[in-house]
Chains A and B, each alone.
Chain A
Amino acid sequence: MSHSAQHADAHDHGESHSHAIVGPGLLRTVLAFLLFFTVLTVAFAQIEVYVEHAVGIRLPWWVNVIGAMSIATVKSVLVMAYFMQLRYDNPINTLAMLFCFFALGLFLMFTGLDLFSRGMVYDFKSGPVIAGGTGAGVPGANNQPLTQAAKVRFKERLAENNTREWLICAAKVEDAANAAAHSKDAGAAEAAAVLAAQAHHMMDLHAVMVHPPEAGAQAVVVRDLEAQANTLRTKGNAAAAELVAAAARSVQGIDMAQARASYSVEAMFDRLAAVAHGGHHEDHGAASSSGNASRARTGVTGVTGHAAPHANESGHGHGSEATP
């Protein structure tokens, strides 16, 4: 590739040996290679996940690390050689950088040497250097790990009635969505999609943590569902509209006082945790465009939660399809 970089004429400014001109053609080639390697490194990581899930072969951890780091090294060499023009530069610049990488290598090597060999000298020094790292001593953590303190705080929030009511409604909508999904009636598929989107939106973890649910969740959800039923009706899908309207009526029919009493904080938390561990999509519906969330966002300030009033029925296989 070097031939496409011509050296500038010397008469411009004395004996300039370092003013290489790297043309756009070469730069485009390098860019294409860099983009290719980006795709490659992502594909490499995805293939490993796929192999583990589909075939059941668990590759050793270093395959992933070595693969990703090798590709990153190739990419960085390309950037330094062509974009940063080290290839055409005074070699002392390359030397300075190489020495720096050597120093970085020493730094990491001696750290690793220390970290991995303590147990060889004294058995009791193997494992974590200092027991801790959980933040238990931080003010506000009450001598529990920070992760535990966060759980306790969140459960206090779940105990509030507004949140609880919202989660009870969400569970009702989810039940209706599941029922529609298993039904063979006309319009059931469309109704199931609408209801599942609504339930998904109501389980948006981001919403409950950032905007605590407001009072009157029941009325808000009923209004939302009725609006969606009307939309389906104007589209000419009367059967689906009726199913969504029925779901709205069933939400309206919830006896909140009784449902509240029978729905424990632990059950709510477990359902939310199942959603959180099912994937990380709660992050993305939040900041922006993630499809169904925006559709269902009519007037609802939002709340969360895969809530199930009947906690004993938890997880009868809604999880896998619910992920977008």
Chain B
Amino acid sequence: MSTLSTSSSSKPLWARYKPAIHFRNAAEEFDACKLGFWLFLTTEVLLFGGIFCAYFIFRTLYPDAWKEGSGLLDWRFGAGNTVVLLLSSYTMAVSIYCIQKDQQFRAQLNLIATLFFGALFLYIKLAYEYIPKWSVGKRPGSMFDYPFAESAHLPLWWSVYYCGTAIHAAHVIIGMILIARVLWRTTKRHYGPTHYTMVEITGLYWHLVDLIWIFLFPLLYLIH
């Protein structure tokens, strides 16, 4: 640190940030990064599109299994998790605002809140859904061992349920790692009003997690 901040510059890291040489200015770099990330997000949507397509096909072929399966889920946990993710999206967006206004401490608080909500989501998912369901045999595909199934295709429902929610949960974990990194770098004053690309992009990723859940929740828990 001491080697970096010489007498010529006591400015924080974000104020000393220089865009890569192939960009005309920081704004152009910011826009390019964002466009690149949006393109990445389209591939994420298509990744979940595969799950949605599987849901669509099997629901059409085996409506009884889907009706029975969604009846085995409790909407209260799904709705609770929806609220948790919406709150986390809000705190994430507020933390970007705080960085833009150079309110570093408030930004950190909001990032910590976002991490907390992410962890809460995973806790609800594991403790109230995955573990109790898995242990009574409500498992995907060949691992299925639930004795009271009525539809012979119920294992397929659990395959789609676990694939959809587990890939989503993996995104929650990755998002939390990214947020933790941003939080760490915030303590080093990496981000401020003129440079916050990474905060913005991490936010986009986190909102996508929310976006996917907005569709997974009604598809799995509400539609019957």
CA gap between A211 and B34 in the complex, in Å: 52
Q: Is the CB of B53 within 8 A of A135?
A: no
Q: Which residues of A contact B2 (CB under 8 A)?
A: none
Binding site for A on B (CB under 8 A): 24-28, 30-31, 34-35, 38-39, 41-42, 45-46, 49, 52-53, 56-58, 60-63, 71-75, 79, 82-83, 86-87, 89-90, 92-94, 96-97, 100-101, 127-129, 131-133, 135-137, 141-142, 144-156, 193-194, 203-204, 207-208, 210-211, 214-215, 217-219, 222-224
Give the contacting residue for B34; candidates A18, A75, A133, A288; CB below 8 A: A18
CA gap between A287 and B31 in the complex, in Å: 47
A300 at the interface (CB under 8 A from B): no
Q: Is the CB of B152 within 8 A of A147?
A: yes
Q: Is the CB of B223 within 8 A of A83?
A: no
A122 at the interface (CB under 8 A from B): no
Which residues 123-165 in A have Cβ within 8 Å of B in the complex? 128-129, 133-135, 138-141, 145-148, 150-151, 153-155
Which residues 76-108 in A have Cβ within 8 Å of B in the complex? 76, 79-80, 82-84, 89-90, 92-93, 96-97, 99-101, 103-104, 107-108
- Residues 22-62 of A, flagged 1 when their CB comes within 8 A of B and 0 if not, give 11100110110011001001101100010000000000010
Closest 8 CB pairs of A and B: A154-B147, A100-B42, A68-B218, A147-B149, A14-B25, A16-B27, A276-B148, A45-B222
Give the contacting residue for A69; candidates B79, B146, B210, B218; CB below 8 A: B218
Q: Which residues of B contact A145 (CB under 8 A)?
A: 152
Q: Which residues of A contact B58 (CB under 8 A)?
A: 133
30 interchain pairs, CB-CB under 8 A: A13-B194, A15-B25, A18-B31, A21-B97, A31-B86, A31-B87, A31-B90, A42-B79, A42-B222, A68-B223, A79-B89, A79-B210, A80-B207, A84-B204, A84-B208, A89-B34, A92-B35, A116-B60, A133-B156, A135-B142, A146-B142, A147-B149, A150-B144, A150-B145, A206-B136, A269-B147, A280-B72, A283-B136, A284-B74, A284-B132
Q: Is the CB of B148 within 8 A of A272?
A: yes
CA gap between A249 and B218 in the complex, in Å: 50
| Closest CB in chain B relative to A71 CB, distance in Å | 7
CA gap between A21 and B208 in the complex, in Å: 20
Q: Is the CB of B45 within 8 A of A104?
A: yes
Contacts beyond the supplied A12-B193, A97-B41: 19 A-B pairs with Cβ under 8 Å: A14-B24, A22-B93, A27-B94, A31-B86, A41-B217, A72-B214, A82-B93, A83-B90, A84-B203, A96-B39, A133-B61, A133-B153, A138-B141, A146-B152, A147-B152, A151-B149, A205-B136, A206-B136, A287-B132
CA gap between A221 and B53 in the complex, in Å: 50
Q: Is the CB of A90 within 8 A of B35?
A: yes
Q: Which residues of A contact B145 (CB under 8 A)?
A: 150, 153
Most buried by B among A68, A97, A147: A147
A186 at the interface (CB under 8 A from B): no
Q: Which residues of A contact B101 (CB under 8 A)?
A: 21
A286 at the interface (CB under 8 A from B): yes
Q: Is the CB of B137 within 8 A of A129?
A: no
Q: Which residues of B contact A147 (CB under 8 A)?
A: 144, 146, 149, 151-152, 154-155
In the complex, which residue of chain B has the Cβ closest to the Cβ of A82?
A: B93
CA gap between A107 and B46 in the complex, in Å: 9
| Closest CB in chain A relative to B128 CB, distance in Å | 5
| Closest CB in chain B relative to A136 CB, distance in Å | 9
CA gap between A17 and B34 in the complex, in Å: 13
A277 at the interface (CB under 8 A from B): yes
CA gap between A61 and B49 in the complex, in Å: 22
Q: Is the CB of A22 within 8 A of B79?
A: no
Contact of A41 with B222 at beta-carbon distance under 8 Å, contacts A24-B94, A284-B74 already known: yes
| Closest CB in chain A relative to B214 CB, distance in Å | 5
| Closest CB in chain A relative to B45 CB, distance in Å | 5
In the complex, which residue of chain A has the Cβ closest to the Cβ of B151?
A: A147
| Closest CB in chain A relative to B30 CB, distance in Å | 7
Q: Is the CB of B53 within 8 A of A108?
A: yes
Give the contacting residue for B93; candidates A14, A69, A83, A108; CB below 8 A: A83
Q: Is the CB of B144 within 8 A of A284?
A: no
CA gap between A206 and B128 in the complex, in Å: 12
In the complex, which residue of chain A has the Cβ closest to the Cβ of B68?
A: A277
Q: Is the CB of B147 within 8 A of A153?
A: yes
| Closest CB in chain A relative to B19 CB, distance in Å | 9
| Closest CB in chain A relative to B63 CB, distance in Å | 8
Q: Which residues of A contact B207 (CB under 8 A)?
A: 79-80, 83-84
| Closest CB in chain A relative to B155 CB, distance in Å | 5
Q: Is the CB of A64 within 8 A of B223?
A: yes
Q: Is the CB of B30 within 8 A of A18?
A: yes
| Closest CB in chain B relative to A41 CB, distance in Å | 6
Q: Which residues of A contact B153 (CB under 8 A)?
A: 133-134
In the complex, which residue of chain B has the Cβ closest to the Cβ of A154?
A: B147
| Closest CB in chain A relative to B78 CB, distance in Å | 9
In the complex, which residue of chain B has the Cβ closest to the Cβ of A134?
A: B152
